Structure 1
Amino acid sequence: MSDLIDDPMPGENAHEYTVSEISGAVKRIVEGEFGRVRVRGEVGRVFAARSGHLYFDIKDDRAVLASVSFKGQVARFPVMPEEGMEIVATGKLTTFPSQSKYQLNVDDLRPAGVGALMAMLEKRKKALAAEGLFDEARKKPIPYLPQIIGVVTSPSGAVIRDILHRLRDRFPRKVLLWPVTVQGERCAAEVAAAIDGFNALAPGGAIPRPDLLIVARGGGSIEDLWGFNEEIVARAAAASEIPLISAVGHETDTTLIDYVSDRRAPTPTAAAEMAVPVRMELLAWTEAQGGRLARAATQGVAQRRQRLRDVARALPQASALT
């Protein structure tokens, strides 16, 4: 009799879930269990949408994590992710039940240490150098005595004071300040816009067009100076029709803008010294040249007077001609 009764299949008495129930449970577990997470890995594929959103992969040698950052989040990034860059991303895991997928919504992204930044910097340097943007042949001469100097820097702090003080000591000139943020996520865009803005000024317009630009900020870590390593800043400096002196950081600091600028100054104070001569030295030189000119003129007149006397002695006396 027992042979006529089939044994129940394993799991036959288990509860039946709908697809939505399973997907919802997975969503609650994944998003509830992890919350905000920090993930370290290498940036893979990067896609910037026209909407301003950024889609990219974070990977290691065994797995890939799809990631997204929305326009407002991207604007706050200190650096933009590039393929091959080692990063630490912070955000929240989200799931898409309709697609059976999950991804990381990244709201903070930073290079994984100085080594990652330096590797990315070298990659950019090679790319820009290959385009010829570092060639000495394309660099413009610095005007000897510019009438108007445009300065791109922070409106507060020691840098602008040092530049103005040094110019006043050496040879007072008219200075136009274009205030910018010199650190953080807004730095690169503002500096590039300032360089472009000065170049866009029409000669003889209401706002005079500078004869020389100085882009400056004080010293800091590589992270602090990173805005001046962004490609948008390097390209704006390279495209500047106005001669440009870069003065970013201290003497040992080097950024991408230094390679494309027409002159690189080790400090903002040194940039002011490159921009103008010393007025008193120039006056002394002018006075010395005037003295040399006067002495040469006096000597020339004396030589010609003596020559005239010599020629006159060779002439016969007027009485001998009659």
Structure 2
Amino acid sequence: MSDLFDDDEPGAGGNAPTVTISELSGAVKRAIEGGFGHVRVRAEVGRVSRPRSGHVYLDLKDDRAVLASIIWKGVASKLRTQPEEGMEVIVTGKLTTFAGQSRYQMVIESLAPAGVGALMAMLEKRRNALAAEGLFDAERKRALPFLPKVIGVVTSPSGAVIRDILHRLRDRFPREVLVWPVAVQGERCAAEVAAAIRGFNNLAPDGPIPRPDLLIVARGGGSLEDLWGFNEEIVVRAAADSQIPLISAVGHETDTTLIDFASDRRAPTPTAAAEIAVPVRAELRAALAALDERRIAGMARILRDRGDRVRAAARALPRAQTLVSDPRQRLDRAGDRLPTALGRMADRKRLALTQVAFDPARLVAHLAEPRAKLRNMSLGRAILKGLSDRQDRVKRAQLRPAGLIRMAEERRSLTTQQAQRLHRAGARILPDRARALTSLGRTLETLSYHEVLNRGFAVVHRGDELIKNPNALSAGDTLSITFADHKTTTARVEGQAASKPRAATKAPRPSSKDSGQGSLF
């Protein structure tokens, strides 16, 4: 290599030999491979890639540098421990170069775990410290709203994550979405995500920009380094202090960051976060329809039960005809007695009036007691004056018999008018009562058992007992038989009554010499 680049006059440069890129790369390759040979390295595994070729590409790193490495397919298949991101390993291999990208790399020949990676150790230490402060306690977590009106999303506006969220929300239940654009990896990631969470919480509920009812912090999958911004303490504290319920959807299902512990709910993917945020509108409609059907069926059942109870109660109530039958009969009886009672009362009043009219002293004595009672009343004087005027009129009437006669005639005329009115009322009521009595008599005749006897039947008694079944008879029983003409014939049972009805036989007609006794059988 020194022969290719030897220059006796370095300052001139014009005499330097001209080489191709391939020659230069080959010279660098030989220099690195010859100068280092086999090396043994302790490092943390970073990004790991496994293409279809079967080779394994990975990064070995520490806190200041990264070394690209490769494990060929044959070696990778024989490794007892496969490299994983975050694992601290000890590897042995050769340094070489890759001319296609002008870089040097290590070809790993053996790999063994060396313990927990530095980044993972730092992450675990930070998680324990924040958990000790109570930022991850279940009591701090808030319940998510069933159907948020506005949803705030903290993510990159140009990635596939926001499109997946919007698409899922549109399919399930469209909602208003506010996007706060942030960097989801790199140095600016943590500060911007924390500022977005606090910015949404600082929005006024009634301001020009609506305050979200739910927040979603989302990012697609990536390596531990790519997701490191969501492990920063500033982001975790912002998520824990959020007054708005927050869903963490960072990385894929296997990725875990510290914001997942501080959030109110963790979603395995951004799409799953949208599914958690809102219900399915079609399912809600179906549930409401089912509830409405249950409500209608329940109301119908209640009405049916109430109807049955009302009908059962109605059957227990007496009929209206039964309720009014007794008062109607009492009214009829009172109506029948009314003319006679009115006449008697008129006679008594007429006699009393005659006695008073011809005995002014008794009238004056009769008025003395009311006059004494009225003296203590507020209107006593006026009423007393009226009584005095009446007394004077009575005294004057004593001295004038013609006045007494005129008073008696007036009383008699009034009594006569009342008697005439009673007579007219009785004449009007009596025909109605007679028609009702006639109708009841006809009904009684229709329902009477005599009508049954007229159709050829008879009534059989054994003493005072009415015989309804011939099986109740015994030989030697004496029976009384009543026919339609109300005549009773005596008969005697001579044999045991048959258990089944037999054809009727015509009984011999009793002769005129018979004593009136005969046999039914």
Listed as ranges, the matches of 1:21-170 within 5 Å are 87-88=63-64, 115-170=117-172
Residue by residue, what CA displacement relative to the aligned partner does 1:248-306 show, whole Å, maximum 9, x if unpaired? Answer: 00000000000000000000000000000000011110111111111111111111111
Q: Distance in 2 between matches of 1:231 and 1:157?
A: 25
Q: Distance in 1 between matches of 2:134 and 2:161?
A: 31
Report SS of the residue matched to 1:209. Answer: coil
Offset of residue 319 of structure 1: 1.4
Corresponding position of 1:207: 209
Listed as ranges, the matches of 1:191-230 within 5 Å are 191-230=193-232
Letter in 2 for 1:207: I
Q: Which stretches in structure 1 are left out of the alignment for 5+ residues?
A: 1-40, 42-85, 91-110
Residue by residue, what CA displacement relative to the aligned partner does 1:166-223 show, whole Å, maximum 9, x if unpaired? Answer: 0000000000000000010000000000000000000010000000000000000000
Report SS of the residue matched to 1:214. Answer: strand
Offset of residue 312 of structure 1: 0.4
Report SS of the residue matched to 1:246. Answer: strand
Corresponding position of 2:191: 189
Q: Distance in 1 between matches of 2:65 and 2:296?
A: 74
Q: Distance in 1 between matches of 2:137 and 2:117?
A: 27
Residue by residue, what CA displacement relative to the aligned partner does 1:82-135 show, whole Å, maximum 9, x if unpaired? Answer: xxxx72279xxxxxxxxxxxxxxxxxxxx9978111011001100000001111
Q: Distance in 2 between matches of 1:291 and 1:174?
A: 32
Letter in 2 for 1:241: Q
Aligned-residue sequence identity (percent) comes to: 72
| Structure with larger Rg | 2
Q: Distance in 1 between matches of 2:175 and 2:235?
A: 26
Corresponding position of 2:176: 174
* Superposition RMSD in Å: 1.9
Corresponding position of 1:298: 300
Q: Which stretches in structure 2 are left out of the alignment for 5+ residues?
A: 1-41, 43-61, 67-85, 89-115, 325-521
Q: Distance in 2 between matches of 1:157 and 1:258?
A: 21
* Equivalent residues, number: 219
Higher helix share: 2
Letter in 2 for 1:87: D
Q: Distance in 2 between matches of 1:251 and 1:112?
A: 19
Q: Distance in 2 between matches of 1:249 and 1:141?
A: 23
Q: Distance in 1 between matches of 2:301 and 2:228?
A: 62
Contact 1:153–1:215 (CA under 8 A) maintained in structure 2 = yes
Report SS of the residue matched to 1:310. Answer: helix
Contact 1:87–1:112 (CA under 8 A) maintained in structure 2 = no
Letter in 1 for 2:168: R
TM-score relative to the length of structure 2: 0.41
2:259 corresponds to 1:251: no
> Relative CO higher for 1 or 2, CA cutoff 8 Å, sep ≥ 6?
1
Residue by residue, what CA displacement relative to the aligned partner does 1:144-168 show, whole Å, maximum 9, x if unpaired? Answer: 0000000000001110000000000
Letter in 2 for 1:136: A
Report SS of the residue matched to 1:119. Answer: helix
Q: Distance in 1 between matches of 2:145 and 2:139?
A: 17
Contact 1:153–1:179 (CA under 8 A) maintained in structure 2 = yes
Letter in 2 for 1:141: A
